[in-house]
Each structure stands twice: as structure tokens, then as C-alpha cells.
Structure 1
Amino acid sequence: MFELSQLRCFTTVAAELNFRRAAERLNMTQPPLSRQIQLLEHQLGVALFTRSTRSVTLTAAGRAFLVEAQSLLAHAEQAALTARRVARGEAGALTLGFVASAVYEFLPQVVADARTGLPGIDIALHEMNTFEQQEALRARRIDLGIVRAPMQHPGIGCECLLREPFVLALPRQHPLADQEDLGVEALHGQPFILYAHSAWQPFNELLTGLFRAHGIVPDVVQLLGSTLTILALVDAGMGLALVPHSASRIRFENLGFRPIELGAGIRSELYLIWREDNDNPALHALLDAIRQTAGALSA
């Protein structure tokens, strides 16, 4: 079977139709070039050139082979370029898991920044809760995840990406909607929609601990896991809720948001998790891009 070097010799001679000039372009002498062409013709079993003392022309077989040879060389160059880009982390494919609440602000910005800064990396998105992402990461079904709770496990990288305050979600006509300087005491006795308790959703434990510490007893009317569902019920007038600030981008007709002072340490957090033994070069490029996005949003 012929080699790429033979194809380069052939296409150069076909372009110059002169062995001396072709040899000069290839930085070689004429006899080795002639031998390469003869060997290629022997391997193909056809004559590619008609030679005379005055001219060199392509045969019909040579003209047909030239089209294919140029295509093969282009594909070979593209393959080499792709391999180098993958090795540098500039190209490749990754699977990113994320919790639903990350889509309100953070994830869309991550995807937009990655499309601009890492156009050669294909990112497949999978919505999962934190527990599902932890299991998927162990099984290598995802390359990295955006979760609500840190993952403490040997061989797993984990870092906090974002910390944001909670805001009070309430119906627009509620008396607290116009009150200045809201604090946690304003929630005492109020109908309240709370995040359900789960091992992978820390908000229930965080907020119930806050209430206990301040002696606040809201009237909990629903326990739910989805921020979107909670806000839909607030919009319907069923109660108040504390949600991450990024959720205030959600719009319902009767839904409003107010800042509220809850004290130090009461923050919503997003964590990034990944396998430290993942050898995909694109992973580290995307990790850096996600960190930059997080830094810009936190500034």
C-alpha cells in the first residue's frame, strides 16, 4: 500500500508537471523523487504520468488519482490537527451533569462562555440531582458535575464554585413585599414552603437550623424538592419561600423577590466535582473555563 510521502511526491509533480521543480519544492533530489513515483505506479498497477524528453503530463488514471490523493492528504492533515488539538485540550467531548437549579443563571453562562472560548469541545448536558451525579461520576457516565453538596471521596476533586444569598420569594400583594430591612424574624408564623429533606439537598437542614437558632416557627404548608415548583406555589399565594438568589430570574405574574438578612453562613452553594484520574485533556480546559465563569459571576 502506498504511503503519504508518496502521495505528496505525486501531487507535487502533478502540480509542477516537472520533476526538477517538484524535487526543489520537496527539498529532495530528482532521482529519489522519480523512484517514489515509479514505486507508486507499480503499487497501483497504472501509469500516472506520460513522460517525454520535453514534457510530463498526467494520464487519465493520474488525473482521477490526483483528486483522491489530494483528499487523502487533506484528511490526513485534519486528523493530525485534531489529534494535536485534543492533546492540548482544545478539542474533544465531555459529559457535564448539573442540578436543575444551576440553569437559572450559572449553567447558561458556562455553556455560552465555553462555546466562545472552547469551540472545539462538545459538551453533553445531563440534568441529575446531586446523588445521581455522584453515582454517575463513580461509574464514569459523566466527566464532571455541578452539585449542591460537596463530595468527599478519595480520587474525587471537589471545589465550591459559587456562594450566593437566599432571597425571600413572596406574592406581590403580601404585606412583606413593601417592608424595608427584612430579617428572619419576619417569617415567624408565616405560611411557608420549605425544601424537602434529602441527603443530596442541603437547604432543608440549613434553613430549619436557621429557624431553630432564632426561635422562628413558620407555618410549613409544603415540603418540595424543586425550586421551580416552590415558586409556582408562591405565585399561587400558598406561602412564602427562601430560594437562592439566582432563582429570582424566574418570572411569574404574581411572584416577587425581596432581599432578607439571614446572618453569616446562610448561603446557597454550588460545587464542582470530577474524577482526578480522568485523562481527557478537554476536562482541564473546561474546568478552567467553569472557574472563570464562576469568578466573573461572583465579582
Structure 2
Amino acid sequence: MSGPSLRRRRRRAPRDPEATMTLVAHLTELRNRVAKALLALALGTVVGFLWYDHGLLTFLSEPYCSLPADLRFQGDESCSLVVLDVFGGVLLRLKIGLIAGAVLSSPFWLWQLWAFITPGLKRNEKRYAITFVAVSTTLFALGAVLAYVTLYKGLELLLELAGDEVAFQLTAPDYLGFVISLLVAFGLSFELPLIAVALNLVGVLSHAALARSRRWIFFLTIVFAAFVTPTQDPFTMLAMALPMVVLFELAIQVARFVDRRRARREAVQHFHDVPDDEASPLDARPSDLDAAPTRREDLLPGAAPADTSRR
């Protein structure tokens, strides 16, 4: 074997079969995970900054520009947002780029988060990493899409409440901040049921606790939607609350399946852990033959077995 390969093998850290780590090792791993997540966020921010002038700003402005002309200050087909200070445009572009970068890089930093948690899990629980990242990304995207679909109706309702004699000339920071907050609020709210499933997988939250709290969960979901939605209108609130209720019910059913599977696995493990000098749970059950009395003539060689059915 060559010298460089030997040096590489010597530098490789030995595996820890017990999956035990010191506090310093945990902090070192946390630092490395955070550094990788921040690097991915920085790269995503650069992509979002460049994407700003190539479709992203048009995509975010479309709900406002699709409103009837009498609700906008121009009163015609033109549509523009106003910036009132010199540095407002630069700061706005950086803010939108940062948020877009966080969304674009979310699969990577979610993977880093799960990779930091998995050393504390059992080996058969670590295989949920890819599923966790895929489902969380999908739920966030579904929440953002739902927010974008409902944004037009919510915005139209809010602007019409001001009266027929009022036309709006929205500033770019206010409007885009409103849109981004709505998209992020919907996306993050759809992650809450997944957090409940993750806590169930690590054994912190049981299905029994979720089932007992079902009514409170649904009630608090509606209250949460009422406070989190920036538009504060009933249409947007219900658009957030109803899918969340469905997702929480799905999370409760997933927790039921996980707890049943865990209980069966623990029962099998307990059966295999019985010492050799003790009777297994199956052997400990009494038999009908053990309870039947035995006659002396039944023990003689060549004797016919006793007929226990007459007794």
C-alpha cells in the first residue's frame, strides 16, 4: 500500500459504534453544520439577487398589477411600485434576494439540520432523513403556492374596503414585504404538522397525546391562522387554517402507525432478550396437557395414552 493512502487512513477518525459524542464534539459538529448551511444560504442569496430582475420582481408584482385599474393610482393598464428613498431599492433587492436564497437553499440546510439530529436517533430511524427533507420542502412550496393563489382575493378585498373614491399607489418595500411575509407565513405554517411527526419519530410526542389534544390543536390552528395571516381577512385565514387542520389530522394518523410499529418492534426485542435460563413468554403459557392428571399406568411402557376428553 502506498504512503499517501496510509496517511489518509491514519487521519480518518475512528467510528464510534455507540454513537456517543462529547460536548466539544457536539459543538464542533454544530459549527460545521451551521457553516455549511450559511454557505448554501449565501449562494442562494446570490442567485436570488440575480433573479430579481429576471422574473422574480414581475412574479411578486403580478397580484397587484392584476387588480382592476380603478384600485390603482395610475387608473390605466400601467403598473409600477414606488420607492421613496435613495437606498430603498438596494435594500429591497437585498431583502428579496436573501429570502429567495433561503427558500432555494432550504433542501440543503434542512438536510444539515436533520444530519445534526440523527446521531441521537436509532439506526432504523435515520433512514427518514431524505423523506424529511423532501416532505418539508414540498409542504413549504405548497403553502407558498396557496398563499400566492389567495393573495389576489385578499388584496382586492382589503383595497376595496377603503371606498370607491380611493386609489392606491403602493410603495415597493411595503407591498413586497407584505407579499413575502404572506408567502413565508403560509410556507412555515405548513411545516408545523411535520414537526409533530418528527417529534413522534424521536419518541418525544406520542400518538395518544396527539389524539387527546386533537380538538385543542384544531382550535389553536384557527387562532394561529387568524393572527399570522397579514391580510387578516376571513378568506385568507380559512385558506390557511383548513389545509393545516387536514395536515395535522394526517400527522396524527402517521403517529398512530409509527407507535404501533414501535410497539411491535419492542415486543419482538423483549422476546429475544429473554435469558437462556428463563422461560420465554410463549413457553410460560400453561398447556391443557399440563393441567390434566396423570395415572401411573399411563407411564408404563406400551400403555395407551389416557383419554382426557372423558374427564
* Same fold flag (TM > 0.5): no
TM-score for both structures, normalised by structure 2: 0.21
TM-score scaled by length of structure 1: 0.22
Q: Which has the higher contact order (CA 8 A, sep 6+)?
A: 1
